[in-house]
Amino acid sequence: MLKKKSLFRILIISLGTWIVFSYIILPLRLEGQSMEPNYPDGGFRFCWLQKYFFLEPEHGDVVAIRFAGKRVVLLKRIVALAGETVEFRNGILFVNNQRVEEPYVRYRSNWNLPSRQVARGRVYVVGDNRGISMHRHHFGQVDMQRILGGVLW
């Protein structure tokens, strides 16, 4: 009788764990410097997979972007939403031609990028570490469908 109960508990815990880590939160081990110093190389975070099911994306949200699946993801910050224009002038971000204060950016270099508009259904994402050369930094507009969720903290 006790054995049956224990087996049932194990089954429920396993099922619960599987549901939580498949559909609710995704553990992330950080690698790379593109989000430093706020998300350092070797750090550990959780991604809330259902965040954009309930909420609309906002400026400053840190999101996980998927490639072919969920095992390797990119961590980036949303700097502009659909319909807005994005531009870099000497490392300073301009959205809709307005200078954006970015307290989370500690390292900056001389990035220059002509103005462009974010397409419908997309958001513009950039890493926090702008000390990296622009050519080596993954950034740009991405389909909302590629966004797995928001980073919890």
Partner 1 sequence: MVTSKHLFFISILLCLVVVLGLYLFPSKEKRVKKQLNNLTEYASKKRNEPTLKTLTKTTRISGLFAENCILKISNPKIEGNYSRKEIMDRVNRVRNSFSRLKVSFYDITIHFTSDTSSVVLLTMRLLGKSKAEEFTDVQEVKLKMQEIRGKWLISGIELVDILER
Nearer to partner 1 by Cβ, of 5 and 71: the residue is 71
The answer to whether residues 71 and 26 touch, using CB atoms and an 8 Å cutoff, is no
Nearer to partner 1 by Cβ, of 12 and 107: the residue is 107
Asked whether position 116 contacts partner 1 by CB under 8 A, the answer is yes
Q: Distance between CA 99 and CA 123 in Å, rounded?
A: 18
Asked whether position 70 contacts partner 1 by CB under 8 A, the answer is yes
User: How far apart are CB 3 and partner 1 at their closest, in Å?
Assistant: 27
Among 3, 4, 5, 71, binds partner 1 (CB under 8 A): 71
User: How far apart are CB 9 and partner 1 at their closest, in Å?
Assistant: 32
Nearer to partner 1 by Cβ, of 8 and 18: the residue is 18
Q: Distance between CA 9 and CA 95 in Å, rounded?
A: 53
Amino acid of residue 28: L
Nearer to partner 1 by Cβ, of 1 and 68: the residue is 68
Asked whether position 1 contacts partner 1 by CB under 8 A, the answer is no
Whole-Å CA distances, 106 to 58, 62, 70, 103, 147: 21, 16, 29, 7, 25
**Is residue 63 within a helix (H) or strand (E), and if so which, with residue range?**
strand 62-66
Q: Distance between CA 37 and CA 95 in Å, rounded?
A: 23
Asked whether position 89 contacts partner 1 by CB under 8 A, the answer is no
Among 4, 69, 90, 153, binds partner 1 (CB under 8 A): 69
Q: Distance between CA 93 and CA 87 in Å, rounded?
A: 6
Nearer to partner 1 by Cβ, of 4 and 136: the residue is 136
Applying CB under 8 A, which residues contact partner 1? 31-32, 65, 67-72, 74, 113, 116, 125, 138-143, 146
